[in-house]
A and B are shown apart, each in its own frame.
Chain A
Amino acid sequence: MQENIFKINDKEYILPGSRACQGCGLSLAYRYILKALRENTIVAIPPSCLCVLHGLYPTTSVTVPAINSTFAGNAASASGIVAALNALNKTEITVLALTGDGGTYDMGIQSLSGAAERNTNFIFACYDNEAYMNTGTQRSGATPMGALTTTTPILTKREKKKDMLKIMEAHDLPYLATVSPAYPVDLYDKFVKAKRIKGTRYIHIDTPCPPGWVYPAKDTVRVGKLAVETGIFVLCEIEDGKFRFTGRSETLAKKGKRLPVVQYVERQGRFKKMSIEQLNQLQSWVDSRWNEYMKRAE
């Protein structure tokens, strides 16, 4: 597929001067998400980096309506918005629950699973920055093995990252996709597509985070690209159960030239205490998942 940046809606929905950190992967992703979903959208926000990005009362840098709720309940909050819009015949509005990995993998998984099982008509997007970044990088269920966090400060995280996409796929959803802000056209296309589909749509966003992942703020796109180049993160979509690679991952699948994961790992300070065994385990986990995807894509 030829990437064409010019087709992207040129209207901006996030005004300059948000409260996000320099080089924030979420800001970049959010900018393109809103371009894809446009103004007729209500965003459900849990307490997280997104809540901070939206700014302090009484000002905000975001020009679509948004409703804050509590950590465990973002999918339930979105369910409430959807139910009310249905009851009030305002079904033309897109409801987006944009939630961090803590609010998706950990505390929010109950309400997410419930909403998904009810096939609630909304887009649940997980911006996965792989730790509790808003409180200063504590370990979450999404933190990869070998990463230093402030609650795994000496031994690094010993356990593997949970496979959230697989969990969500088990809910038999009409549409699942993965995106990266390093590939904005792919991200944009998937949100445009998701907007047209009814039912629960789950989109997983790889979200590089300079302070949490410990790399220079200018490298967000580079780190995001390396995640895809190494196969740590795979761009794909699953539509009605059918898996396919997209964008750069599709090219990699055809050409078979993935970079070794060490090239991704070595750029980030959070992996500085990663052992060789952990690195090997990470590589073999990436390989086995890649092979699984290759089989599914056949």
Chain B
Amino acid sequence: MSDTRIITGNEAAALAVKLVEPNVIAAYPITPQTSLAEKLSTFVEGGELKAEYVRVEGEHSALTVCISASTVGARVFTATSSNGLLYMHEQLHWATGSRLPIVMCCVNRGVGAPWSIFNDQQDSFSQRDTGWIQIYCRDNQEIIDTIIQAYRIAEAVYIPVMVCYDGFVLSHTMMPVTIPDYGKVREFLPPYKPSVDISPENPVTVNPVFFPWRRENAEGVLCDGYMEKRYKLQDALLNAADTIEEVSTAYGEAFGRDHGGLLWEHMTEDAEIVIVGMGSIASEATVAADSLREEGIRAGVVGIRTFRPFPRKAIATALKKATIIVVFEKCVSYGCDGGVSSDIKSALYGTGITAPIHNYIAGLGGRDVKARELADAVKETINRIDSGRPENETTWLNCHTG
């Protein structure tokens, strides 16, 4: 019999972590991640989860603990939000350069200054180029399932995975969630094996100084220089797309839920207007698309689940038949464009797809975004394009810009 409970996103995340049984957890509290860190403390202190929980003095240390623990063979977990994630930035690079299968939850929140405790995705978006795999969840069921998948992905490709979900919108909102069976999770997720054995018998110095050129080891074998190391990270990250798809499919077979590996689609088969989003805003967009359909507008939704590696081919395929593309996003590449839409444009270059792309920056710092407003924005885009007004623009939705 399935175990279904009405729980928050943070509870779903905590239950997932309990199921994957990490050896080491390190975390520092920050809104809206806090209740996740608290729940895990209760599991560990209550004896429900056997793990070393290091209550660190800051997020930089939280990830540092995970990095070194993972290096010596522990399965690890951490979670943060907003400025906490920014404070980890140096270690985000260190984790990927070290090729460690760390899994972290980013409970998405706007970044300061000025302060906001509420949701947008600027925190994880601004860590885009650190080499982490980033997967965005649309609901609480997807959170619990994605964390379990994340360990299998990370431990297969030796790249850390950031499981992102919207603060408050998901983290503090209760939804029905089916809890995966413990025995099945054990089968799905084999024990972690580190890539390098750290022991007195194998006295390696991990991550020493690399030179620009390749150098010979004691046996005369030419070994990687810095650039080869970096190339291998990029190559592994690009190839991780296949692993993400495979793991999503395997999870679907084992647990009956496949959330889509790289992206998911909603009524796109015959859609002329395709709405693109990431996380809960994409989920909200499905409601908007349904209401547009009722008005006779053939709308569909593409939800980007994996933001890095960016699913270029899958995006191009999903948008092939679109006549208008509307992107709703909660992050900005300041001085350039919306973060997601600029990647979409880059993915479409050379594919022959020339549909106009209208980009809406929405919901920054927790500003409410209703499905009706998304539908209205889509209609406004259609009007603009029909009336020959300039396309390929960015609009800040519900924002007083006068």
A residues in contact (CB < 8 Å) with B: 39-42, 44-45, 51-52, 54-60, 62-70, 72-73, 75-81, 83-88, 93, 110-111, 113-114, 117-118
The residues of A that contact B76 with a CB separation of less than 8 Å are: 80, 84
Given A69-B67, A78-B68, A111-B60, residue A88 in contact with residue B207 (CB < 8 A):
no
Given A66-B206, A110-B61, A111-B60, residue A80 in contact with residue B24 (CB < 8 A):
yes
Inter-chain contact B68/A70, CB cutoff 8 Å: no
The residues of B that contact A117 with a CB separation of less than 8 Å are: 57
Q: Ordered nearest first, which 9 A-B pairs have the shortest CB separation?
A: A114-B57, A80-B68, A76-B61, A87-B23, A84-B74, A73-B64, A84-B69, A80-B65, A76-B64
Asked if B230 is at the interface (CB within 8 A of a chain A CB), the reply is no
CB distance from B184 to the nearest CB of A (A): 24
Q: Given A52, A66, A68, A110, which contacts B57 in the complex, CB threshold below 8 Å?
A: A110
Asked if B2 is at the interface (CB within 8 A of a chain A CB), the reply is no
The residues of A that contact B73 with a CB separation of less than 8 Å are: 84, 88
Q: List 27 contacting pairs A-B, 8 Å CB cutoff, sorted by A.
A: A39-B203, A56-B209, A56-B210, A57-B211, A62-B203, A64-B200, A65-B202, A65-B203, A65-B205, A65-B206, A67-B68, A67-B206, A68-B208, A69-B67, A70-B94, A77-B68, A79-B65, A80-B64, A80-B65, A80-B72, A81-B68, A81-B69, A81-B71, A83-B65, A87-B24, A110-B57, A114-B61
CB distance from B396 to the nearest CB of A (A): 37
Asked if B198 is at the interface (CB within 8 A of a chain A CB), the reply is yes
Inter-chain contact B67/A77, CB cutoff 8 Å: yes
Inter-chain contact B24/A60, CB cutoff 8 Å: no
Q: Given A64, A69, A110, which contacts B68 in the complex, CB threshold below 8 Å?
A: A69
B residues in contact (CB < 8 Å) with A: 23-24, 26, 51-52, 54-58, 60-61, 64-74, 76, 90-91, 94, 198-200, 202-211, 215-218, 223-224
Given A44-B68, A73-B64, A81-B69, residue A111 in contact with residue B57 (CB < 8 A):
yes
Inter-chain contact A39/B200, CB cutoff 8 Å: yes
Q: Given A59, A67, A88, which contacts B71 in the complex, CB threshold below 8 Å?
A: A67
The residues of A that contact B215 with a CB separation of less than 8 Å are: 56-59
A75 to B64, CA, bound (A): 9
A5 to B314, CA, bound (A): 69
The residues of A that contact B202 with a CB separation of less than 8 Å are: 65
Given A67-B198, A83-B74, residue A88 in contact with residue B54 (CB < 8 A):
no
Inter-chain contact A86/B205, CB cutoff 8 Å: no
Q: Given A39, A66, A111, which contacts B205 in the complex, CB threshold below 8 Å?
A: A66
A37 to B205, CA, bound (A): 17
Inter-chain contact A51/B209, CB cutoff 8 Å: yes
A69 to B70, CA, bound (A): 13
Q: What is the chain A residue whose CB lies nearest that of B218?
A: A59
Inter-chain contact A73/B205, CB cutoff 8 Å: no
The residues of B that contact A114 with a CB separation of less than 8 Å are: 56-58, 61
Q: What is the chain B residue whose CB lies nearest that of A111?
A: B61
Inter-chain contact A57/B209, CB cutoff 8 Å: yes
Other than A39-B200, A40-B200, A114-B58, give 16 A-B pairs with Cβ distance below 8 A. Answer: A42-B72, A57-B211, A59-B217, A60-B205, A65-B205, A66-B204, A66-B205, A67-B68, A69-B64, A69-B207, A76-B60, A76-B65, A84-B68, A84-B71, A88-B23, A113-B57
Inter-chain contact B74/A51, CB cutoff 8 Å: no
The residues of A that contact B26 with a CB separation of less than 8 Å are: 79-80, 83
CB distance from B341 to the nearest CB of A (A): 34
Q: What is the chain A residue whose CB lies nearest that of B209?
A: A56
Given A56-B210, A87-B74, residue A79 in contact with residue B198 (CB < 8 A):
no
Inter-chain contact B205/A68, CB cutoff 8 Å: yes
Inter-chain contact B61/A79, CB cutoff 8 Å: yes
A84 to B52, CA, bound (A): 8
Given A59-B217, A70-B90, A76-B60, residue A83 in contact with residue B24 (CB < 8 A):
yes
Inter-chain contact B205/A54, CB cutoff 8 Å: yes
A265 to B298, CA, bound (A): 84
Given A84-B24, A85-B72, residue A73 in contact with residue B60 (CB < 8 A):
yes
The residues of B that contact A111 with a CB separation of less than 8 Å are: 57-58, 60-61, 64
The residues of A that contact B217 with a CB separation of less than 8 Å are: 58-59
A84 to B90, CA, bound (A): 22
The residues of A that contact B210 with a CB separation of less than 8 Å are: 56-57
A86 to B203, CA, bound (A): 20
Inter-chain contact B56/A76, CB cutoff 8 Å: yes
Q: Given A41, A58, A81, A110, which contacts B72 in the complex, CB threshold below 8 Å?
A: A81
Instruction: Find the residue from B23, B198, B199, B205 having the highest chain A CB count within 10 A.
Output: B205
Inter-chain contact B60/A65, CB cutoff 8 Å: no
Q: What is the chain B residue whose CB lies nearest that of A54?
A: B205
CB distance from B66 to the nearest CB of A (A): 6
CB distance from A90 to the nearest CB of B (A): 8
A39 to B76, CA, bound (A): 26
Q: What is the chain A residue whose CB lies nearest that of B196?
A: A65
Inter-chain contact B223/A57, CB cutoff 8 Å: yes
A79 to B73, CA, bound (A): 14
A8 to B16, CA, bound (A): 51
Q: What is the chain A residue whose CB lies nearest that of B229?
A: A57
Q: What is the chain B residue whose CB lies nearest that of A114?
A: B57
The residues of B that contact A39 with a CB separation of less than 8 Å are: 200, 203
The residues of A that contact B204 with a CB separation of less than 8 Å are: 60, 65-66
Given A67-B206, A84-B72, residue A118 in contact with residue B55 (CB < 8 A):
yes
Q: What is the chain B residue whose CB lies nearest that of A86?
A: B52
Instruction: Find the residue from B26, B54, B207, B208 having the highest chain A CB count within 10 A.
Output: B208
Given A64-B200, A69-B94, residue A87 in contact with residue B52 (CB < 8 A):
yes
